[in-house]
Structure formats: structure tokens, C-alpha cells
Amino acid sequence: MNTVVVTNVVKSYGRHRALDGLSFTAGPGVTGLLGPNGAGKTTLIRMLATVLAADSGTLRLLGRDPSAERLQIRRRLGYLPQEPGFHRAFTVFEFVDYVAILKEIVDRRARHDEVRRVIAEVGLAEVSGKRIRALSGGMRRRVGIAQALLGEPELVLLDEPTAGLDPEQRLRFRELISRIGENRTVVLSTHQTEDVAALCGRVVVFDGGRCMFEGTPEELRRVAEGQVWLSAERSGVLSWRTGEGLFRNIGQAPDAARLAEPTIEDGYLLLLGDAAVGVRS
């Protein structure tokens, strides 16, 4: 069963259409929402978190309709917003416990056990008594994930969980997120094709509030098969010099070019076309 079914969803802010008839599905495992700035990723994740309502179209979350059964859905989902409102003077334990109270885990003892469990799951047991303001950015992000895991939600939504992390932290996050995705549905948004390659069983590429691609990362890679070329000269808009001094060109074959193996990033850039290099803003 698909945990998330989005059909023809439209959402406008004033005259601007952030989501423009978007459709996609997600089931157990990790699904990545990949798109450039302003593609509508945060708008969509907030909708999946039942924070925002669609103007038109339908959403089914965990088999339910969010416009009629919001509370039932919320009890079964965990959400890491892009900018979590941390209470920085709280300790890690106090903050996660505070969220657990909001999540209606009433029994104090069971709640504290659950708070300790999620803090351990994200590897923060040793700093559980530290104030949030004294933590590094990566650790703070992990506190955000810990609170999203309270109550063992079936659907976990992570808005750019790896943004701004250094490579080592990013690796730890991938390990953590893939573990979380082993037995539930995780939907995460990212700008990074590397995250998608490393983590996601499925990927949804979108731009301008529309779905451009839905499939496996391997299928996304294959979008660019036969269309990536190495040459001594630059050609077209999607072309850049690589470390070896050759130009990597995506699209039409330049003169005297040699065909190269595509990557997921090539597939993504090809789908996005001009938008990928900021020609269109």
C-alpha cells in the first residue's frame, strides 16, 4: 500500500503557484524529493505534515484524508521542519520531552523511556543533558530527527535533513536515515543528488511545482544515457570543465566528443534543463 498518494495538487501563494497539479506516490522505504530552490519541496512537505491544506487536488496519507482526519494522521507521523523552532535554553532531553508532551504521550514514565529511546537512536545519549544552544549544527539537526521519531511514526517527513552538514556528518545522517527507512515510509527533501544516490529507493524530481520524474535513482541516471559527452570544447548551456581539463556536456553531442557514463546528477540536470544552471529564475 502507498503511504502517500498525492493527486493533482495545486497550492498558490497569492498569484504564485507553488504546486501546479503535482502528483506522486510514496510507500515504505526512503523517497527523495529533489528539486532546485523554489521548486515547492517545503510546500509539499508541509502539506504531507498536514500543516498546509491544498487549494485543489487530493492527498491520501496513511490511507486517510487529511482534510477530514488530520489528528489521526498526525498521531502517526513524525516531521522535521526546515527550521525547527528549538527552545535553545532547553536541554536535549527537555526539548524532546516537551515535544513528546505535545504528541500526547501522557504517562510520564513511558514518555521518558520513549524520549531516551529516540535520543539514543540518533546517537545523542551522551549529550542528553546539554543545552541545545551549546550543540553543533549537526547535533541540533539530530535532535530534530529524534523528536520526529517519537511514538514510532509510520510516516517520517524530513525537510532538507542534510543541508549544511560536513561530509562526515552527512555520512552519519545517511546511515541514520536509511536505518529509519527500513521499516517505515520516509519522505525527505534535498538539493543533493548524492543524497538521493546514497539513500533513496525512489526519487521524485520536480520543478515549478510539477513532477518531472518519478522512479528509482538508477532510472534517473538512465535519463541521461547516450547524452553525456566529454570534449575539449565547451558546447551549449549544460557544459562545464571537469578536474581532468575536459568539458562535460549534457545534451547534443559536440564535435569530436566521446560518450561518457551518466550519473544521477546528469539525469537531473537534463530533466531540469536551463533551470538547473539558473538561466531561468
Ligand X SMILES: Nc1ncnc2c1ncn2[C@@H]1O[C@H](COP(=O)(O)OP(=O)(O)OP(=O)(O)O)[C@@H](O)[C@H]1O
Q: Which of 28, 38, 123, 201 binds ligand X (CB under 6 A)?
A: 38
Instruction: Report the distance separating Cα 96 and Cα 91, nearest Å.
Output: 9
Q: Which residues contact 26 (CB under 8 A, 6 or more apart)?
A: 2, 3, 4, 185, 187, 202, 204
193 binds ligand X per the rule CB under 6 A:
no
In terms of CB distance, is 159 or 266 closer to ligand X?
Answer: 159
Note whether 39 binds ligand X by CB under 6 A.
yes
Rounded to the nearest 10 degrees, what angle do helices 108-121 and 137-148 cross at? Answer: 130
Task: Tell me how far CA of residue 222 lies from CA of 268, 270, 279, in angstroms.
Answer: 10, 11, 24
Question: Does 41 help bind ligand X (rule: CB under 6 A)?
Answer: yes
From CA 268, how far away is CA 107, in angstroms rounded? 48
DSSP string across 131-154: BGGGS-HHHHHHHHHHHHTTT--S
Considering the rule CB under 6 A, would residue 244 count as an interface residue with ligand X?
no
Q: Which of 40, 66, 161, 217 binds ligand X (CB under 6 A)?
A: 40
Binding ligand X (rule: CB under 6 A), the pick from 13, 71, 243, 256 is: 13
Stretch that binds ligand X, among 33-41, 193-201, 215-223, 230-238 (CB under 6 A): 33-41
Find the shortest distance in angstroms from Cβ 51 to ligand X: 11
**Largest Cα span, the chain:** 71
Q: How far apart are CB 38 and ligand X at their closest, in Å?
A: 4
From the list 35, 66, 161, 267, which residue makes contact with ligand X (rule: CB under 6 A)?
Answer: 35
Stretch that binds ligand X, among 10-18, 99-107, 192-200, 235-243 (CB under 6 A): 10-18
**In angstroms, rounded to a whole number, what is the distance separating the alpha carbons of residues 76 and 115?**
16
Q: What is the dihedral sign for C-alpha 82, 84, 85, 89?
A: negative
3 binds ligand X (CB under 6 A): no
Among residues 18 and 158, whose Cβ is nearest to ligand X?
18
Residue 281 touches ligand X, criterion: CB under 6 A: no
- Positions touching ligand X (CB under 6 A) are 13, 16, 18, 35, 37-43
